[in-house]
Amino acid sequence: MDELEALLQGHVFQPCGRLEMNSQGWVAPLGKEGKSLLHGLGQCVLLCARKEEKILPTSVIRDFVNERLEEIESQQLRKVRKQEREAIRDAVLQELLPRAFTRSNYQYAYLDLSHGWLLVDTSSRKKAEEFVNFLRQSLGSLPVISPKLRDSPSRVMTQWLGNRSRCPEDFELADACELVEIAMEGSVVNCKRQDLLAEEIHAHLEAGKLVSRLALRWQSHLSFVVDEDLVLRRLQFLEITSDQGEDFVSRDRVVRFDADFALMTGEFSRLLPRLFQVFGGEDEEVYQQAALGIAV
């Protein structure tokens, strides 16, 4: 933990400079209540990256550039060439950057050391990759790979939806799904707040559509939407009652934070292996090839 903390300290967050468009670095996951860049609980370690960006709309830059161009063309009676136009744009950008507002985004993730997992709190593959790349840059190396399963989640979920009896007993179909045609430019059907066993859903399946997203409940503990890439969305913990919520509010913020973190990591430590299992298990051969540097 101390070594990891020291490595992250080398990339601690610093606000954007006057002429910088963005800045990224590590911050304390607990915010003002914490000083460490890591927050550990059991075998799980939480970390947070902050990214600050200057808000400088393209339309604003274009208006300033056009004003300069019109001034030159009217005074010097000539057309501004491409190279000079680009130089004017760069000059305008340098003038506007110090006056631009900024916005910050916080990206959380945690390491589960007992399972060897890195879980990133985003449904965007691009944001997840950006986080992993920044963590790898901070640590010097980071041998991680996305889960590779022996079976296709899309195929398995299509079987569950087509035949309820094929859905494992600990999973329950909820009220939403996304169906796609197999063709490259096929249609997409989004179903929300709907009985997934209805005839119209089966008609889409019989027409050859596959499930790309499916809303599920698991062991009456969790509800979520899982997609064909094993990304979980709309996660809800179903066993937290309103009485528990009121009790949490009366506690110290750090205690509440740890309680929520323990609940989340504990449920994930049971749910994810189960998801891997129902989707055929992890493909160890792919992992071995990736470790050897073989393109897969």
Residue 97 DSSP code: G
- List Cβ neighbours of 258 (8 Å cut-off, separation of 6 or more): 41
As a whole number, the mean pLDDT across the chain is 88
Burial of 135 (0-12, 13-18, 19+ CB in 10 A): buried
pLDDT per position as a tens digit, 234-285: 999 886 644 444 454 445 888 989 999 999 999 999 999 999 999 999 877 6
Contact (Cβ atoms closer than 8 angstroms) between residue 228 and residue 152? yes
Query: pLDDT tens digits for 132-189?
Result: 999 999 999 988 888 889 999 999 999 999 988 899 999 999 999 999 988 766 789 9
Residue 160 near residue 214 (C-beta atoms within 8 A): yes
Answer yes or no: are the C-beta atoms of 53 and 22 closer than 8 Å.
yes
Query: In Å, what is the CA distance from 32 to each residue of 35, 193, 200, 239?
Result: 7, 40, 52, 29
Query: What pLDDT is attached to residue 249?
Result: 47
Q: What letter does residue 19 receive in the DSSP assignment?
A: T
Tokens 């189960």 identify what position? 274
Place of tokens 């790898």: 136
What is the pLDDT, as a whole number, of residue 295?
30
pTM of the model: 0.81
Which stretch of DSSP H or E encloses residue 226?
A: strand 222-227
Where are the extended beta strands (E) located within 92-209? 101-112, 117-120, 171-180, 188-192
The confidence band for 291, taking pLDDT boundaries of 50, 70 and 90, is: very low
Query: What are 68-79's pLDDT values in tens digits?
Result: 999 998 999 899
pLDDT digits (tens, 9 = 90+) for 196-238: 988 899 999 998 899 999 999 999 889 999 999 999 999 998 8
Amino acid 223: pLDDT = 94
